[in-house]
Every structure is written in C-alpha cells, then in structure tokens.
Chain A
Amino acid sequence: MPHNAWAIPGLALLAYALIVFFGRRFGERAAFIPIIALGGSFVLAVINLLAVIGGATAEVRFDWLHLGERTITMGYRVGPVEAVVLFMVTLVSLMVLLFSKGYMHGDAKFNRFFANVTLFITGMLLLVIADNFLLFLVAWEVMGLCSYLLIGHWFEDLDNAKAAMKAFLTTRLGDVGLMLGVWMLFLATGSFRFDEITKEISKGQMDVAFLTLAALALFSGAVGKSAQVPLHIWLPDAMAGPTPVSALIHAATMVAAGVFLVARSFPIFQAAPDAMLTVAVIGAITALMAALIATVQTDIKKSLAYSTVSQLGFMMLALGVGGFAAGIFHLLTHAFFKALLFLGSGSVIHAAHTQEMHKMGGLFRKLPVTGATFIIGTLALAGIPPLAGFFSKDEILLEAFHFERAPILFWMAVFAAFLTAYYMTRSVILTFFGKPRDHHVYDHAHESPPIMALPLLILAVPAVFAGLAGAPFAGSWLQHFIDPHVHLPEPSGFVQNVAIGVSVAGIVVAFLIYQVGILNRQAAIRVLKPVYVLFKQKFYFDHVAMGIVAVTVAISRFVATVDKWVVDGLVNGLGWFVFQMGQGARRFAAGSAQAYAMVMALAIAVGLFVYQAMGG
C-alpha cells in the first residue's frame, strides 16, 4: 500500500534516533539497528513498487501553516517515479550499510558513522517522496549536512576537514539559487506543491522569461548538488570520506538528487526551452570534461569520482534534451553499478591499504569476488550489452541524437561514452591485472570478509539486469511506467551501433595501451604534454575557484577592516565621548553639601541678575 510510504523514511529516522540515544550500549552491534530498519524500508519499498505497478498511487497531505489566505500543506506523494527511486535508494542503502559494517570495523567513530549515514538515508528517502518544495528543501539540506559530516568523518586529518568544507560551501553556492527559484515560483503561483505549480504553469499564462529565470535558479541548485560544471570541483575531493559514503552519497544517491530535482520540476523546464538547452549543454560539457579528467587519475576513487560527475552529466543531458524517462532510467541503473564499483574500490582499498592504482596490479588472484564484481560494474558502466548501462546510455544517446537545436551534444556524449569505456578498463587493468607493481601491497592483500563481499554480489545482480526493464525489446517498459505519456524517440540502428562501437573501442584501446603495452606511456605523455597537464590539472577549475575565493576573501578582509576601524570606531568613539562627559560631570558630584550650595547660590544670583537685566 503506497499510503504506508511515510514509514520508509520513518523507519530510517527511528533507527537514527535509536543509534544516537542507545547506540553506545551495543558497540559495533549498533550497526544492525539501521540494517534491520533499512531492511524493513526495503521490503516496504518493494511492496510499494508492486502496488504502484498495479496502478495505485498515494497522495497524503495535511495543512501545515495558514498564512493569511494561503494554506501551506505538507505531504508526500508516491507515484511511479518515486516508487522506483525508493526501491533503488533502499536497496543501495541497505547494501552500503552491510558493507560498512565490515569496512568500518574497528573505527573509533563507528557509531557516529552509522548514525550519520542513517540520517542521510532518512533525508534521501524524504526527498524522494516529498510533494512540495519546502519538504524537499528540508531533506535536501539534511543530506547536505550529512554529506559534510561524513566527508569529514576522519577530520583529524586537516585535508579531510577541508574537503568537507569545500563540498559544503560549493553546494551551498548552488543552494542559494535553489532557494531563490523556490521563492520565485511561490511568488508566481502561491504554492510550494509540485502538482499545483505544474498546474499553474500548464495554464500557459506565465512569462517565459520569468520561468526561464526560475528554472535556471532551480538548476543552479542541481548544478551544486549533482556536481555539474562549474561547481563539480567538490565531488572528487569528497572522496576523502570513507568509501561506503562515497558509494552511497557521492555516487548513487545524493548527487542524483540534483538530477531528481530537475526531473521533479521538469514541467517548469519544459515551459522554458532556453533553460532546457542550458541543462543539456551543461550536462554534455560536464560529461565530456569529467571523462577527460578521469583518464589521467591515478587514485582509484578519484577516477570513479570523475566518472560519477561524467555520468551525472549524461543524466542532465538526457533531461535537457527532453528525455525525462531516459534521465531517470540512467539515474537508476547508474546508482546500481556505481555503488557496486565504489564498494568494490572500497574492498580493494581495504585489502591494499592504498588508493594509488600504480601501486596495485595483479590483485585479481587475491580478490576474485571483488575483481569479478568490479569487472561487471565496469562493463555495465562502459555500456556493453546487455548490462544495465548499455540500455540507459543508449536511450540518452538516442534522445540527444534527435535533439535538433544542438547536434553537437550527441557527438560530445558519444566521445564521453568512448572515454568512459576507456578509463574504466584502464582502472580494471591497473588494479587487477598485469604484474604486481608493489609487492608489499600485493602480499598483504586479502579478500574482504563475507559481509563486504555479499553486498558486492547482490549489487552485481541489478547492475546486470536492471537495464532490461527499459530495454527496447521489452517494450521499454520502465519508460512507459515512469511516464505514461512518454514519447520514445524513434529507435535508430545507427545510434545503437555507434554506442556499442565506442564502448568496445574504448575497452580495446585501453586494453592495448595498458595490457598489451602497444605504446610507451612515458613517451606518449611527453608528446601530449600540454594536454596531459591540462587534464591532470582538471582544466584548472580548482585554480579559478580558488582565485574567486581569494578575491572574495580579500574583499571580506577589506570590509572587515572598514567595519573594525570605521563602523566600530564610530560606535566606540561615541561611547568614549559620553564616558568622558560623565568623567567631567563626576567632579560636580563631589558629595560636598557646601559645593552644591555654592552652585545653587551662584545659579540664583546669576538668574536674578539676568532677570533684572532683561527688564524685570
């Protein structure tokens, strides 16, 4: 029954409360509190999904605030999109929690970690079912906070604390736009509810320029949260957090919230074609640029982080070109295989105690389960049929192919898809194959305990099969389910061939370079030095951002100086003046009755004299 959907985040919240108040008593067994709760949430989500497939939907709301004539409601809504995303989030969360139980074993802040993750999951689930922007914003901020706390989980290392701060501030920059957008829409429509806003807009009486502005403001929130260019700089640094966090928050769910936001407010974007185009262009640029950077990363997690940024770009591109269903489809499949990849990388890090891929190599023999599942995730991400990523990416490419306003977006996406296959294969070969480059690492490597291996195996299942739900030969069931009025783009054999072609090409090229050793990498780097440095320096986005920060700090310092010397000076000066006046006046109150009498007598004498002088 979808009407029970409130219990899905409710259980997570309950688990959070329990772990905060009683977690200490259980030690590391406290991890089972959220695991059991999320298990319950997952079962509920499955029941919900089945009910929604059966045609049921739920909308529950109550009056929250009466402001003058307006009534603001709170409530939740479970339709097809919500149901599938709930299913995905609960499943991935559950797997990540299981994995964390093993990964975080022995951590000094074990309980705090689980509490924060649980609160995060609550936020994400709440965000998915929220039926209005206010609740959406609350959940959005809860996630932002938890993201900050979890990136900075090991805050003893200053770099981690800085990364947390960077993530928080960068996303905050986008959030300002989001709040502005919500406010604009409230002014224009008088409601925070998605359905009412949609209804107002569908009347077609609103100014397109205004809508474009509002949509772009909303989009800036999505740019921050979903790490799109130019606010993508926080996501790679966010890998400072524990790896399960990277898997859950910074790959599968929270970063998808930005995409979800655009999907949520899709009618607004549809009413503003220029905003749509912006989304598509930003998405394509992000997809391509992040993929280019990913090709030169040596840190296994950083490489995956840029891959995430790139894939989020794909989703934005899909939404921007009008492919609502394609975007959500890719969001789902990506969540599964990216969570799988991140957990796999966590397993590798757990075994190798390093994140540098150049120190790994040959680990497949030591980590067969991790290796096998990681390869499945890689193939899914690279878009090899019939794995999950193939169908969703194909759908996006198809949407982009039919987008006539900017044909170049299609080719950018194709190139990004080629690079995706390339850098993922590169990661796999560097990590699992070839000769061990660091014998110390190799000798100490060992397969992870079952509690960590199990989530990998479970996640590998949707990574393989999730795509079939939206496969063309299955009648694109998922797309029709998500959006009953969907206009599927005309299938194109050309696009499909290109998609498969670039995926295979990417894998082959990486295989030739890293496994066969067809060309001398050092020589290649020397020849391509400027390009290599450009990628290595991440297109200098961080430098520009730091420059902007430096300017801001300089202005702030100036303002602080003015505040300190001019404003404070004025206030303190006034105080000083009054104080001095008081000091002077003190002398008159010497406590001597004779002095008082003297003054009195003089005053009377003067008064009389004046009275006389003025003519009586």
Chain B
Amino acid sequence: MISIPLTYFLAAGAALFGLGLYGALRRTNIITVLMCIELMLNAVNINFITFSRYITSTGSQVTGQVFSVFIMAVGAAEVAVGLAIILAWVRRRQQVNINEINNLRG
C-alpha cells in the first residue's frame, strides 16, 4: 500500500498553523483573528490525526482522534463565546479594529 509520507501531513499542518498564527497576530479585523485562531486549532487537529494514524499502524489506538473531536467541540464553544464577546464589543464601539481594544494599556 502506497502511503503518503508523514512529513507531508506535518508540513500541511505546520503551514496551516503558521497561517493561523500570522493572521491571529497581525490582522486587525477581530473576526478574522477569531477565524485564524480556529485555523490554528484545525492545524493542531491535523497533527493529532496524523500521529494517531502513523503511531498506531496496528489500528487499535484512537487517542489522537478522540482528542481532535474534543478540540472541535471546545473550538465550537470557544467560537460561540468569542463571537458573543465580539458582538457585544462591536455593538458598543461600532467597529471591529482589534488595535482599538487597548483598555489595559499601561
């Protein structure tokens, strides 16, 4: 059976994580930032599933896959809460620029 090498999956995951990290750190639209965080979570999910598949070549270990399911659930919850916060913020300030959220400035 021809299999795609492990590295490919990891590279794809890392690329996705990098994209997400960049977006989370650099984008100014707060909704985009939230999306980018989701992207990073999914990149992590790819890694989990990849390792799960490769480590357990016997096919009996599913820990990594279970983890990714949990992450999806937690991610959904996080989006629900995060969007609610953002909505409240946007309603209050009428804007979505993350650089304006600096109330804790020292």
> Which residues of A are in contact with B by a Cβ distance under 8 Å?
585-586, 588-594, 597-598, 601
Contact = CB atoms under 8 A, between A and B. Distances in A.
A593 B103 CA distance: 10
Nearest to B103: A591
A591 B25 contact: no
A593 B86 CA distance: 14
Interface of B: 21, 24-26, 33, 98-99, 101-106
5 contacts: A589-B104, A590-B105, A592-B98, A594-B24, A598-B25
Nearest to B33: A594
A231 to B, nearest CB: 63
B24 A590 contact: no
Nearest to A601: B21
Contacts of A594: 24-26, 33, 98-99
Contacts of A592: 98-99, 101-102, 105
B98 A593 contact: yes
Contact of B101 (A585, A586, A593): A593
Nearest to A597: B25
A598 B104 CA distance: 16
Contacts of A591: 101-106
A585 B106 CA distance: 9
Chain A interface helix/strand/loop/mixed: helix
List the 5 closest A-B pairs by CB distance, nearest first: A591-B105, A589-B106, A591-B102, A591-B104, A586-B106
Contacts of B21: 601
A315 to B, nearest CB: 76
Contacts of B101: 591-593
A293 B73 CA distance: 108
A585 B104 CA distance: 14
A591 B99 CA distance: 9
A590 B98 contact: no
A464 B99 CA distance: 103
B102 A590 contact: yes
A589 B26 contact: no
Given A589-B104, A591-B104, 14 more contacts: A589-B105, A589-B106, A590-B102, A591-B102, A591-B105, A591-B106, A592-B98, A592-B105, A593-B98, A593-B101, A594-B24, A594-B25, A594-B98, A594-B99
A586 B105 CA distance: 8
Contacts of B25: 594, 597-598, 601
Interface centre among B24, B25, B33 (most CB of A within 10 A): B25
B35 to A, nearest CB: 14
Contacts of B103: 591
A589 B105 CA distance: 6
A588 B102 CA distance: 12
B26 A590 contact: no
A593 B98 CA distance: 8
A585 B25 CA distance: 21
